Amino acid sequence: MSAADPQPASTAVPPSRLQLPPGPWTSLLDGLCARFPAIDRATWLDRFARGRVHDAQGRSLTADTVYRAGMEILYFREVAREPAIPFAERVLYRDTRLLVVDKPHFLPVAPAGAFVNETLLGRLQRQFGEPGLAPLHRLDRGTAGVVMFSREPATRDAYQALFRERRIFKRYEALAAPLPELRFPLLHRSRIVPGEPFFLMREVEGEANSETRIEVIARDGPLWRYGLEPVSGRKHQLRVHMASLGAAIANDGFYPLAAQVEDDFTRPLKLLARSLRFVDPLDGVERCFVSGFEL
């Protein structure tokens, strides 16, 4: 099964927020064209004409609005044909502060690229009527598993600190080629930096900025099941580390880079965010959330 038929023209709800950075532009139109070079001037003019750019209070702005660094604006991301993802998320836990969800493969956590509404965040905001819902961390679009959201702005930073200060225990599972020549468990440390094309990462010489604990859970069949525990949180870290060991995660189209084609829903990336475990910073309760998906 390949990608589902795209949906009609789609506009992100709620809008995206942007704090204008310092710059030489005199008009808001010029500043936005410079900030988003992939969106042409005519598209921005059309959005202004349709009232799709607002100030922080929700008032429509015009193309010739004076550009002021530090000003916050709201704009509605739009795509002409948004792909539909035919898999459903599952709610694992919900209280007044947190919403914990099992994300399916292929569904992005937040708007990006061709996706504005067909995202985990967008689905949950619509389902629960909570435009202020915010993800506390991210998973790659291709990765399935546990994602935690904050429902309450007043307590959000306390939970974000769990990730900043590495006080949360994350465990992943992956299917990849056997590595019989290595001794497990092992700790893989390396320096990861942006690569080429722009959406890839790569390992280079230098002081390590990424660290992953790796063990073998099962050795049956042509693929082994690995347990992965990221100590750090670099982009694509687990995928880069497994590929560098000689065992790229099954169905990974980035490491190594394959020809980019539409999604094949029968071949998901075999990477799952199996669990999140932490001591709740507000009530001291130890919490553990486990994905119900299987690879």
Question: How is residue 122 written in tokens?
Answer: 């967008």
Q: How far apart are CA 155 and CA 15, in angstroms?
A: 23
Number of CB atoms found within 10 A of residue 290's CB: 14
Q: How far apart are CA 104 and CA 119, in angstroms?
A: 11
Could you please report the per-residue DSSP string of 164-201? HTT-EEEEEEEEE---TTS-SSEEEEEEEEE-SSTT-E
Q: In Å, what is the CA distance from 50 to each residue of 32, 43, 44, 63, 226?
A: 16, 11, 10, 11, 51
How is residue 80 annotated by DSSP?
S
Q: Which of 140, 220, 252, 264 is catalytic?
A: 140
Active site residue 55: no
Look at residues 275, 276, 277 and name the one whose alpha carbon lies nearest to residue 286: 277
Active site residues per annotation = 140
